[in-house]
Chain A
Amino acid sequence: MPASRRTFLAAGLALPVAASVDQTPPPQPPKLSARPPSFSYRTLGKTGLKVTTLGFGCMITSDGSVVERAADLGITYFDTARGYQGGNNERMVGAALKKRRKDLVLSTKTEANDKPGAIGQLDTSLKELGTDYVDIWYLHGKTAPAAVTDDLMEALAVAKKSGKARFVGVSTHGGQQELLPWLAKNPNIDVILTSYNFTMQPFMNSVIEDAASAGKGIVAMKVMAGGVRRAGGANRERLSRDGALVAALKWVLRNSNVHTTIPSMTDMDQLDANLRGMSQPFGESDEKLLAMHLEHIAPEYCRMCGQCDGDCRQGLPVADVLRFLTYADGYGQFALGRERYLGLHPSHASARCGDCPGCTIQCPYGVRVAERMARAQEMFA
């Protein structure tokens, strides 16, 4: 029986807390007057870089004033990428951090698929960021070891040797079960940037722990599980209002194998809320908030984990059908949902769950599969 999201959430409470949390400021602390009371710092694996556990994902930030204030307040890790906002993001970040560049850890990424392309992008990044070097340079969005080619590894080595990147790494949004152990064993990778949040599967804890034990710096992104932007309508308002997003951040920070996090922030209020989150422990009320959030999304939200593959008596591609239903129910895209549904094999598109005596699928995350499948058939078939 696979562990459920709820089990994972509960397991999070048992994570080794504060074992490697160092409350001592780094050697060159920013000079501030309005620093939050308890900034926490961790060391980014064998890089030795000391970073605040709350970093700043600059990807969707529009106004440099938020980035600049974050640096003034004492956040030390800032992340961008060549491709963000059509290349405009790096320019904004570079300008905002100009005054404090030497005190900060700055990372960017390349989505190029070959060495010349990657090196070319790094040169452009340095120009746009207005700096001679980045502290960490990532290969962007890899989901399997095969995507981290020898050619790209050579690009990372060249960047390090030239001093244009102090450390190098790989970012990943998927495939972590295979990719993280592979990266952990790779001596030429210094840092791993991975999605990590309370909705993910339990194996994430162990692959992150193994990678951290191997000396890799671990940076977590998507810590708010897609945040308010992925949630629709009333759910979006509720998430922002009740503090679930900060609770999600605190949940990630409990894991001492995660050295820093890079939530997206677009305004001063988000920045202040996250700073408070960094300085507060994950408590019972946070656990309740996240559990409520899981409860709220569980009956309808298919996480595409694949655990029901092959379980349907009629051979239906359950996860696909549930996704098509989400197009209609979740996003108001009835036509798209129906189009995809009718693209199924005719025997699947015409199947009826009512023909079975009972459903064989028990979703480990609590999705009411039979009910949702029947709704899809009623709407689309």
Chain B
Amino acid sequence: MKWLLALLAAGAALAAPPSCDLVSGWTQHGAARSYAADNLFEYMDGNAEGYLLYGFVNMHGVSCDKSGVTVLIDLSEFADAESAFGMYSANRDLRQPETRLGMGGQIVPRRAIFAKGKYYVEIAVNQEGDHTAALTAWSKALEARTEGTSDPPAALEWFPREGRESLRLVPESVLGIRAIPRGYVGEYAAGKAFVAAQDSPAAAQAVMQKLRARFPNSTPAKVADDAFTATDDYLGRLCIFRKGRVIGGYAKAADSQDPAALAAAVAARLP
């Protein structure tokens, strides 16, 4: 019975492989492909490491042809929706606008990507040229058949929108600091804001202790539950705070800006 339950649970978690007949007129080119974490390297060499960082589980892919154009479709499953969004956020072209697809998406002339639920979808065209129309059709079709939430992670709302140039989930060592293992980083003209939720307030307090040791020249600041300001050769003028179980802050603050005030603006948006 246990065995059967395990099989059913695992089966339910497995994404249905993409199929060329999702969009009319396309036919399958070659065999469908499947990869797990241990052999993703065979498909994409070193790039696989970028997937593993975000908690990659498996990938199903297929290539489809129509009138001399080949699209490569790969649907990757991640550990959870936040990780799938993280993969998207790290790979979208920051210079190009986003497209309304799932939790977040982007279509550029030869490539479309989006995240929905715990799935990250990539569609690429082999041939040169502007293939926006085909990529849009494929994106819509794949979005419709992909299960999961289209609501972006709540953490995105914690970052002020004004002046924001990018916002992504960093899966390892936020700001290059190992003590902050995972969190969101927003880049602004005035510096970098970050937010990293810990398991509990006690865990967040422990992180703050490590950070104080990392910045021995710190000065206490009045932001949220606990905070300090410091100056670092590489992270510039910064302020780090704790609010409940969340560590947040602002680094590389522009000369004209007060890092504590910038950090306070982030803290004020936290629940």
Residues of A within 8 A of B (CB): 59-63, 65-66, 68-69, 72, 81, 83-88, 91, 116-117, 140-141, 173-174, 221-222, 226-227, 229-230, 264, 266-270, 323, 326-327, 330-336, 338-340
Contacts and interface: CB of A to CB of B under 8 A. Distances in A.
A334 B10 contact: yes
B57 interface: yes
Given A266-B172, A323-B38, A60 B50 contact: yes
Contacts of B57: 331, 333
Contacts of A65: 175-176, 234-235
Interface string B109-139: 0000100000000000000100000000000
B49 A264 contact: yes
A346 B92 CA distance: 43
B224 interface: no
Given A62-B172, A66-B176, A335-B13, 9 more contacts: A59-B49, A60-B49, A62-B171, A84-B50, A86-B93, A141-B46, A269-B173, A336-B34, A338-B7
Contacts of B93: 86-88
Contact of A85 (B13, B38, B58, B90): B90
Chain B interface residue bracket vs A: 35 or more
Given A266-B173, A269-B178, A326 B49 contact: no
Contact of A59 (B13, B46, B233): B46
Specify the main secondary structure of chain A where it touches its partner.
helix
B182 to A, nearest CB: 11
Interface string B88-99: 001111100000
Contacts of B67: none
A86 B86 CA distance: 13
A319 B195 CA distance: 44
A336 B14 contact: yes
B24 interface: no
A65 B232 CA distance: 10
B176 A268 contact: yes
A88 B234 contact: no
A335 B10 contact: yes
A367 B234 CA distance: 47
Given A60-B49, A65-B235, A327 B176 contact: no
A230 B49 CA distance: 8
A29 to B, nearest CB: 19
B256 interface: no
Contacts of A226: 41, 49
30 contacts: A60-B49, A60-B53, A62-B168, A62-B173, A62-B176, A62-B185, A63-B175, A65-B175, A66-B173, A69-B234, A83-B47, A84-B47, A85-B50, A86-B91, A86-B113, A88-B93, A88-B94, A221-B46, A230-B37, A267-B176, A269-B173, A323-B38, A327-B38, A330-B38, A331-B57, A333-B57, A335-B11, A336-B10, A336-B58, A339-B14
B90 A86 contact: yes
A145 to B, nearest CB: 17
**Chain A to chain B: the 6 pairs with minimum beta-carbon distance, closest first:** A267-B173, A86-B91, A65-B234, A335-B10, A63-B176, A66-B176
B52 interface: yes
A81 B42 CA distance: 18
A350 to B, nearest CB: 18
B177 interface: yes
B162 to A, nearest CB: 22
B92 A86 contact: yes
A87 B94 CA distance: 9
A229 B49 contact: yes
B217 interface: no
Nearest to A62: B170
Nearest to A65: B234
A323 B41 CA distance: 14
B200 interface: no
B45 A63 contact: no
B154 interface: no
B10 A267 contact: no
A267 B172 CA distance: 8
A267 B177 contact: yes
Nearest to B106: A86
Contacts of B233: 69, 72
A333 B11 CA distance: 9
A295 to B, nearest CB: 19
B39 interface: yes
A335 B37 CA distance: 14
Nearest to A57: B46
